[in-house]
Amino acid sequence: MRKLLIILTSLLLTACVDDSASYHVDGDNGSHVLTLHRVQKHFWSKDSDVELIIQRLPDCLRRIPLTDMPADDVEVELLSGGDNVWTLRAGEEAWQVESQTCSQYPDVKGDGGELIGVFRVDEKKLVFEAAVLETVPDTAPAGK
């Protein structure tokens, strides 16, 4: 009976959600990556802790806590301001980081830059969806 109680207790204390999604800045090289990680610490909790892991090897590797969000409703935009400056935005909250030295800015400066994509929950799994850039058709008459 005691073994069963120990097993059941450990199951009750495990997290329901613990996953991540990544944006590879330099393609599949893997040395420059921004990863959003969410973890729900207790099965009864509706919120998850969300953090950013910045990796630009060999110079930079850091975890930055961002916020608590509903575990099933994480949605964070990723914007690029150039020069390894990144802005993450979730509703009214925003964070700005720099992956050259793995630092977080105290305040967000500017509009954040160009939308790169969105970290979101899709079928109960955290994913990164790249932004779709629309091409503008050329309406100029031919030959001019």
User: 């105290």: which residue's tokens?
Assistant: 106
The answer to whether residue 65 scores a pLDDT higher than 70 is: yes
The answer to whether residue 141 scores a pLDDT higher than 90 is: no
User: Considering the domain boundaries, does residue 10 fall inside one?
Assistant: no
Position 38 confidence tier, pLDDT thresholds 50, 70, 90: very high
Q: What per-residue confidence (pLDDT) applies to 14?
A: 52
Q: Which of 36, 39, 51 is nearest to 15 (CA)?
A: 39
The answer to whether residue 143 scores a pLDDT higher than 60 is: no
CB 34 within 8 A of CB 139: no
Q: Could you tell me the sign of the dihedral formed by the alpha carbons of 31, 34, 119, 135, in that order? A: negative
User: Considering the domain boundaries, does residue 47 fall inside one?
Assistant: yes
The answer to whether residue 135 scores a pLDDT higher than 70 is: no
User: Considering the domain boundaries, does residue 4 fall inside one?
Assistant: no
The answer to whether residue 25 scores a pLDDT higher than 90 is: yes
Judged by DSSP in three states, 3 sits in helix
How far does Cα 44 stand from its chain's mean position?
23
CB 121 within 8 A of CB 40: no
User: Considering the domain boundaries, does residue 19 fall inside one?
Assistant: yes
User: Considering the domain boundaries, does residue 6 fall inside one?
Assistant: no
